[in-house]
């Protein structure tokens, strides 16, 4: 039987900030984005701030209403990266199968280390102790026989705790938890489950599989397997990369976008970043998607198929702009925009050329892109830019490619 | 309090780093007689985490930390120290 650990750093960003600022350690602290650049939301909060019911993702002013003495500190991503690496250094003393899930969470398959330890619990306790001593932050660890229950375990008791969910006790622990605690049960799925009278994970496990499949399709099958402990996906080794399925960038503009000209500027920058990243990875994409969020924080996403695979910035830019024209009429000003490309194939694969396109022109555009890539690689993103971006340098003064931070990826 | 310090250290051919001397702000230097322990550790007092060297200096034990490429020590609270130094001495 496998022994899987899921280790989760408790309020990671806030813990690191509190470690570096001993004077605020016993006060409610939150890490928040830059309000001036309008990224003013709560990213994480410490245990003291949790008591005031402050939630991740809410605006800083909302949080301050709940707790006027809240201390909001700016994030230091380089520090978090360093701590994340230090955590993984400790994990790597126990196994080489470390699968990160965001910066602060990891699955570890410690089955191979069981010869030297009495139980998975002992390993988890040792890791918990070492992280506290060596890094000065706390983790909660779930120990189980698959990844799903290990994750449930790490959420079960926080902070600084170890929870074992074994084959013997999973019905007592996991089944009593609300269904929304299960990975991949979000608000929408939870609503549907409630209509079926399903409240807990145990309810899912005991629900007829056919009915789940009828209501949720293949996801019903998955939920059934998750809740019964049948899930058996391997913990990937840290060097086994997942295959990339999409590349995207989004940004909240420094001011509200009022017209198409503003939007063009943002799209130009986003598409440039997305396409450069795509070319770096050696892909061509056939599907383009955009997301538009208005000032009421209402978000829509739209996607479109292209006629052929492409990595030319101009193609992606035109496609996303077309989508934008079709779906936004500026009844409300736009707050943030995003561009994502999917449906990849390798750029080295043979491409069917078209008799209707001007192939010569496409080749010119391609070599233009490659030249620009080379220049930007050597001298930075800002060394050569379209003249359009110079109209409003405050709006165009960001570089998503360099500022890009990888966020927790999907489970599949 | 966290206090960054200047350290003279020895780098051996395997990449190990061993502190030899602490160079204080006022020009004094303190030889490290012996390093008794080296381990990764966090300093809750100073606020930081890195490699902790347990050093014997003038027969006193002292922690010095190497955090990435800067050395620091845990200094007693400066406010308290200042208060002490500004309190007028009692006349006899």
Encode pLDDT of A71-83 as tens digits. Answer: 889 888 888 889 9
Residues in A closer than 8 angstroms to B48, CB to CB, are: 19-20
Report residue B65's pLDDT band, with 50, 70 and 90 as the boundaries: very high
Say whether residue A136 is in contact with chain B using an 8 A CB cutoff: yes
Residue B51, pLDDT above cutoff 90: yes
Q: CA B39 to CA B61: how far, in whole Å?
A: 15
Q: What percentage of chain B's residues is helix, strand, coil (to nearest 5)?
A: 10, 60, 35
Q: How far is A357 from chain B (nearest CA, A)?
A: 55
Q: What percentage of chain A's residues is helix, strand, coil (to nearest 5)?
A: 45, 20, 35
Report the predicted TM-score, pTM, of the whole model to 2 decimal places. 0.74
Mean pLDDT, to the nearest integer, of B43-58?
Answer: 92
Nearest to A351 by CA among A341, A339, A366: A366
Report residue B1's pLDDT band, with 50, 70 and 90 as the boundaries: confident
Residue A135, pLDDT score: 92
Residues in B closer than 8 angstroms to A134, CB to CB, are: 39-42, 49
Report residue B92's pLDDT band, with 50, 70 and 90 as the boundaries: very low
What is the three-class DSSP state of A87? Answer: helix
Q: How far is A16 from chain B (nearest CA, A)?
A: 9
Of the partner residues A82, A86, A136, the one whose CB lies closest to the CB of residue B44: A136
Say whether residue A82 is in contact with chain B using an 8 A CB cutoff: yes
Nearest to A141 by CA among A119, A127, A162: A162
Say whether residue B68 is in contact with chain A using an 8 A CB cutoff: yes
Of A34-43, A326-335, B35-44, B52-61, the poorest mean pLDDT is in A34-43
Given an 8 Å threshold on Cβ–Cβ distance, is A19 in contact with B45?
no
ipTM of model = 0.79
Mean pLDDT, to the nearest integer, of A207-221?
Answer: 84
Say whether residue B11 is in contact with chain A using an 8 A CB cutoff: no
Of the partner residues B39, B49, B68, the one whose CB lies closest to the CB of residue A136: B49
Mean pLDDT, to the nearest integer, of A232-250?
Answer: 77
Residue B43, pLDDT score: 92
CATH 3.30.1490.100 residue ranges of chain A are: 246-403
Residue A60, pLDDT above cutoff 50: yes
Residues in A closer than 8 angstroms to B39, CB to CB, are: 134
Say whether residue B42 is in contact with chain A using an 8 A CB cutoff: yes
Mean pLDDT, to the nearest integer, of A153-162?
Answer: 88
Nearest CA in chain A to B43: A136
Residue A205, pLDDT score: 86
Mean pLDDT, to the nearest integer, of A85-109?
Answer: 89
Q: How far is B81 from chain A (nearest CA, A)?
A: 17
Burial (Cβ within 10 Å: 0-12, 13-18, ≥19) of residue A162: buried
Average of per-residue pLDDT values in chain A: 86
Residue A238, pLDDT above cutoff 70: no
Clarify whether A105 is annotated catalytic. Answer: yes
Residue A65, pLDDT above cutoff 50: yes
* Residue ranges covered by each domain of chain B: 2-86
Q: How far is A60 from chain B (nearest CA, A)?
A: 25
Report residue A62's pLDDT band, with 50, 70 and 90 as the boundaries: confident
Any idea what DSSP says for residue A13?
A: H
Say whether residue A22 is in contact with chain B using an 8 A CB cutoff: yes
Say whether residue B43 is in contact with chain A using an 8 A CB cutoff: yes
The percentage of residues in chain A with a pLDDT greater than 70, rounded to a whole number, is 95
Burial (Cβ within 10 Å: 0-12, 13-18, ≥19) of residue A11: buried
Residue A284, pLDDT above cutoff 70: yes
Of A228-232, A395-399, A404-408, B37-41, the poorest mean pLDDT is in A404-408
Report residue A239's pLDDT band, with 50, 70 and 90 as the boundaries: low
Given an 8 Å threshold on Cβ–Cβ distance, is B44 in contact with A19?
yes
Residue A200, pLDDT score: 87
Residues in A closer than 8 angstroms to B40, CB to CB, are: 86, 134-135
- Among the options A58, A65, A105, A210, which is catalytic? A105
Question: Locate tokens 């004094």: which residue?
Answer: B28
- At residue A94, φ and ψ (nearest 5 deg) are -110, -25
Size of interface A-B (CB pairs under 8 A): 32
Of the partner residues B40, B46, B68, the one whose CB lies closest to the CB of residue A134: B40
Nearest to A94 by CA among A125, A118, A127, A121: A127
Residues in B closer than 8 angstroms to A21, CB to CB, are: 47
Given an 8 Å threshold on Cβ–Cβ distance, is B42 in contact with A20?
no
Is the CB of residue A14 less than 8 Å from the CB of residue A92? no
Residue A180, pLDDT score: 85
Q: Which CATH architecture group holds A12-75?
A: 3-Layer(aba) Sandwich (3.40)
Residues in A closer than 8 angstroms to B78, CB to CB, are: none
Report residue A216's pLDDT band, with 50, 70 and 90 as the boundaries: confident
More confident residue, A6 or A395: A6
Nearest to A365 by CA among A312, A308, A321, A318: A312
Residue A332, pLDDT score: 86
Residue B91, pLDDT above cutoff 50: no
Residue B77, pLDDT score: 64
Nearest CA in chain B to A129: B41
DSSP line for A362-399: HHHHHHHHHHHHHHHHHH-GGGS--GGGGTTHHHH---
Residue A410, pLDDT above cutoff 80: no
Task: Extract the tokens encoding B68.
Answer: 């990435």
Residue A241, pLDDT score: 55
Given an 8 Å threshold on Cβ–Cβ distance, is A21 in contact with B47?
yes
Residue A290, pLDDT score: 93
Residue A267, pLDDT score: 92
Q: How far is B92 from chain A (nearest CA, A)?
A: 39
Is the CB of residue A94 less than 8 Å from the CB of residue A111? no
Could you tell me which CATH number the domain at A246-403 has?
Answer: 3.30.1490.100
Q: Are strands A334-346 and B17-23 parallel, antiparallel or unpaired?
A: unpaired
Residue A408, pLDDT above cutoff 50: no
Residues in B closer than 8 angstroms to A135, CB to CB, are: 40, 42, 49
Residue A352, pLDDT score: 82
Cα A17–Cα A6–Cα B38 angle in degrees, nearest 5: 55
Residue A141, pLDDT score: 94
Residue A401, pLDDT score: 75
Q: How far is B80 from chain A (nearest CA, A)?
A: 15
Given an 8 Å threshold on Cβ–Cβ distance, is B46 in contact with A22?
yes
Say whether residue B70 is in contact with chain A using an 8 A CB cutoff: no
Q: For residue A184, is it left (φ>0), alpha (ψ between -120 and 50) or beta?
A: left
CATH 3.40.1170.60 residue ranges of chain A are: 12-75
Say whether residue A73 is in contact with chain B using an 8 A CB cutoff: no
Of A132-141, A144-153, B70-79, the poorest mean pLDDT is in B70-79
Given an 8 Å threshold on Cβ–Cβ distance, is B41 in contact with A134?
yes
């Amino acid at each position: 039987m496998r022994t899987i650990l899921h280790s989760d750093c408790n309020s990671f960003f806030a813990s690191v900030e509190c470690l570096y600022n001993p004077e605020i350690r016993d006060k409610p602290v939150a890490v928040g984005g830059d309000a001036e650049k309008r990224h003013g939301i709560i990213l994480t909060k410490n245990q003291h701030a949790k008591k005031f019911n402050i939630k991740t993702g809410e605006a800083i002013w909302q949080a301050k209403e709940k707790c006027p003495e809240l201390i909001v500190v700016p994030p230091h991503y380089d520090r978090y990266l360093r701590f994340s690496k230090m955590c993984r250094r400790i994990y790597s003393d126990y196994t080489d199968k470390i699968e990160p899930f965001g910066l602060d969470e990891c699955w570890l398959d410690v089955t191979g280390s069981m010869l030297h330890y009495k139980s998975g619990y002992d390993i988890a306790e040792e890791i918990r102790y070492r992280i506290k001593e060596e890094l000065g932050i706390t983790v909660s660890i779930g120990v189980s026989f698959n990844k799903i229950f290990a994750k449930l375990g790490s959420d079960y008791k926080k902070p600084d705790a170890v929870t074992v969910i074994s084959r013997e006790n999973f019905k007592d622990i996991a089944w009593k938890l609300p269904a929304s605690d299960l990975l991949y049960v979000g608000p929408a799925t939870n609503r549907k489950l409630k209509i079926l009278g399903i409240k807990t994970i145990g309810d899912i496990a005991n629900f007829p599989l056919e009915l789940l499949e009828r209501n949720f399709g293949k996801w019903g099958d998955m939920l059934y397997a998750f809740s019964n402990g049948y899930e058996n996906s391997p913990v990937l080794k840290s060097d086994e990369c997942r295959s990339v399925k999409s590349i995207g960038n989004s940004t909240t503009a420094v001011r509200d976008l009022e017209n198409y000209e503003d939007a063009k500027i943002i799209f130009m920058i986003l598409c440039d970043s997305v396409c450069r990243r795509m070319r770096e990875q050696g892909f061509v994409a056939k599907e383009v998607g955009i997301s538009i969020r208005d000032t009421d924080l209402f978000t829509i996403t739209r996607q479109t198929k292209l006629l052929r695979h492409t990595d030319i910035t101009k193609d992606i830019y035109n496609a996303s702009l077309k989508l934008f024209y079709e779906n936004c009429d500026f009844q409300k000003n736009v707050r943030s925009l995003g561009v994502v490309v999917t449906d990849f194939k390798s750029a080295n694969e043979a491409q069917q050329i078209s008799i209707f396109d001007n192939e010569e022109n496409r080749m010119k555009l391609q070599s233009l892109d490659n030249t620009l890539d080379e220049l930007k690689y050597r001298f930075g993103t800002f060394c050569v830019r379209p003249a359009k971006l110079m109209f409003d340098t405050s709006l165009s003064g960001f570089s998503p490619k360099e500022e890009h931070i990888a966020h927790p990826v999907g489970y599949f | 309090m966290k206090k960054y310090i200047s350290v003279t250290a020895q780098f051996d051919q395997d990449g190990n780093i061993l502190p030899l001397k602490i160079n204080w702000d006022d020009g004094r230097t303190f030889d490290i007689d012996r390093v008794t322990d080296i381990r990764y550790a966090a300093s809750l007092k100073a606020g930081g985490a890195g490699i902790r060297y347990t050093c014997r200096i003038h027969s006193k034990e002292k922690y010095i930390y190497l955090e990435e490429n800067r050395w620091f020590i845990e200094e007693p609270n400066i406010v308290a120290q200042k208060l002490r130094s500004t309190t007028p001495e009692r006349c006899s």
